[in-house]
């Protein structure tokens, strides 16, 4: 079932294209202008929907929660360079190769913004990387799945980046200023990534039979892991996450439940699959006229727990490459530090006569 034979550039394709990001920018500017009017205590700032800034007082638990969340997000960007990075050498056209290189480069940039945001809370990047390398901090479990075909680059953009944006748009209004501002920039770039992923699949689904099969296979493999990216149910009777969500919501870090965001993602994505002429691997997927939402089948949470605990196809490989690059690069970083210590680097060294 094919839709129109073109991608409408004006039709929103992801959560960052509905104006919420721009609204968050405008709201931040308005509230910042009113900052002096309310009290400056943590509670007063939260109550007035003001941003907490690095020099404001904040509860230690708030600071620790943010460090953990922002670091995990940064680690996900850095590890997330690998699944698609593996395809730079094999991209089937030079245009696709250039787009993919730029995209993976963006992920590195997102990692940098986020480590910088975490550093405003009194940790440094080296400490956080050590925690990643030693397994004490996690990255998104989605990156423990392999990228088996070219179409996986499309599915990652469309589904994985699409799900990530759905999670991240509300974070543009997060109570912690540096994180909220990083998220605004990240969402705008991720929106472009999601669109290029959709466009890869769009092209494949209008290509040869082998290309169409490749696209369908990728959608089949990435659909359920993408739904798991929102995390297990965290509110109501089905909640399994031990109450962190309620605290994060009270602190203005989290604004929607995992299930709410997941449902929004499903509602947005199912019609897009139809436009791509692809099916989704869920026999229970059907539109519910009463609720106005798409009902979907039960998620196999045992898979998420298994992969989180290390038993995914690529857990070992991802960390091995990251740790390997870090160790192999140690002599370079040490040299740069030694050089900086001996030279005034207020200005670049002049070497051209």
Partner 1 sequence: MSRNAIDTSVSDHSVSDHSVSGSSVSDTTLTTDAAAYCLQLGDDALIYAQRLGDWISRAPQIEEDMALANVGLDLLGQARELLTRAGQLDGTGRSEDELAYLRDERQFHNVHLVEQERSDFGFEMARMLWFAAYQCELYAALANSSDETIAGVAGKAVKEVDYHRDHASQWVLRLGDGTSTSYVRMKEGLERVAPYVAELFEDDAVSVAVSEAGVGTLPSSLWDSAFGHVSRVVAQATLTLPTDSTWRSRGGRQGIHSRPMGFLLAEMQHIARSHPGATW
Binding site for partner 1 (CB under 8 A): 78, 81-82, 85, 88-98, 101-102, 104-105, 108-109, 111-112, 115, 150, 200, 203-204, 207-208, 210-211, 321-322, 324-325, 328-336, 338-339, 342, 348-349, 351-353
Q: Rounded to an integer, what distance in angstroms lies between the CA atom of residue 200 and that of residue 278?
A: 13
Least distance from partner 1 to the Cβ atom of residue 334, Å:
6
Q: Rounded to an integer, what distance in angstroms lies between the CA atom of residue 212 and that of residue 138?
A: 35
Residue 89 or 302 with smaller CB distance to partner 1: 89
Residue 309 or 333 with smaller CB distance to partner 1: 333
Q: Rounded to an integer, what distance in angstroms lies between the CA atom of residue 222 and that of residue 142?
A: 9
Least distance from partner 1 to the Cβ atom of residue 89, Å:
5
Least distance from partner 1 to the Cβ atom of residue 318, Å:
10
Residue 120 or 175 with smaller CB distance to partner 1: 120
Least distance from partner 1 to the Cβ atom of residue 335, Å:
3
Least distance from partner 1 to the Cβ atom of residue 10, Å:
24
Least distance from partner 1 to the Cβ atom of residue 201, Å:
11
Least distance from partner 1 to the Cβ atom of residue 230, Å:
26
Residue 78 or 227 with smaller CB distance to partner 1: 78
Least distance from partner 1 to the Cβ atom of residue 117, Å:
14
| Residue 61 structure tokens | 């638990």
Residue 59 or 207 with smaller CB distance to partner 1: 207
Task: Tell me the CA distances in angstroms from 206 to 148, 212, 214, 338, 342, one per residue in order.
Answer: 20, 7, 12, 55, 59
* 213 closest CA partner among 154, 117, 278, 262: 278
Residue 71 or 304 with smaller CB distance to partner 1: 71
Residue 185 or 244 with smaller CB distance to partner 1: 185
Residue 18 or 339 with smaller CB distance to partner 1: 339
Residue 17 or 77 with smaller CB distance to partner 1: 77
Least distance from partner 1 to the Cβ atom of residue 350, Å:
9
Which residues sit opposite 295 in a β-bridge?
A: 286
Exposure pattern of 307-333 as b/e (b: 16+ CB <10 Å)? beeeebebbeebbebbeeeeeeeeeee
Which residues contact residue 273 at a Cβ distance below 8 angstroms, ignoring those fewer than 6 apart? 219, 279, 280
Q: What is the dihedral of CA 179, 321, 141, 87, to 10 degrees?
A: 90
């Amino acid at each position: 079932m094919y839709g129109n034979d073109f991608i409408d550039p004006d039709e929103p394709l992801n959560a960052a294209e509905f104006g919420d990001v721009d609204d968050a920018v405008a709201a931040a500017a308005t509230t910042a202008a009113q900052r002096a009017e309310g009290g400056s205590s943590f509670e007063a700032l939260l109550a007035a929907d003001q941003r907490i800034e690095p020099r404001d007082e904040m509860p230690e638990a708030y600071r620790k929660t943010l460090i953990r969340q922002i670091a995990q997000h940064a680690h996900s960007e850095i590890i997330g360079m690998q699944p698609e990075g593996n395809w730079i050498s094999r991209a089937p056209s030079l245009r696709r190769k250039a787009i993919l290189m730029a995209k993976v480069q963006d992920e590195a940039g997102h990692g940098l913004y986020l480590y910088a945001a975490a550093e405003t809370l009194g940790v440094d990047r080296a400490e956080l990387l050590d925690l990643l390398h030693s397994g004490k901090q996690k990255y998104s479990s989605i990156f423990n799945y392999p990228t088996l075909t070219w179409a996986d680059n499309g599915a990652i953009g469309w589904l994985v980046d699409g799900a990530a944006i759905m999670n991240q748009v509300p974070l543009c209004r997060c109570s912690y200023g540096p994180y909220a501002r990083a998220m605004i920039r990240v969402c705008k770039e991720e929106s472009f990534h999601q669109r290029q992923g959709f466009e890869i699949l769009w092209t494949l689904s209008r290509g040869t039979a082998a290309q169409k099969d490749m696209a369908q296979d990728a959608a089949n493999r990435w659909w359920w892991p993408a739904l798991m990216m929102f995390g297990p149910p965290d509110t109501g009777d089905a909640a399994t996450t031990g109450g962190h969500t309620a605290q994060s919501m009270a602190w203005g870090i989290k604004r929607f439940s995992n299930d709410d965001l997941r449902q929004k993602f499903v509602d947005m994505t199912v019609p897009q699959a139809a436009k791509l002429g692809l099916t989704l691997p869920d026999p229970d997927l059907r539109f519910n006229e009463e609720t106005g939402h798409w009902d979907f089948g039960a998620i196999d949470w045992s898979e998420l727990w298994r992969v989180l605990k290390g038993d995914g196809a690529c857990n070992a490989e991802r960390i091995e490459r990251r740790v390997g690059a870090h160790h192999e690069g140690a002599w370079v970083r040490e040299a740069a530090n030694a050089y900086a210590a001996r030279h005034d680097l207020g200005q670049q060294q002049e070497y051209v006569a």
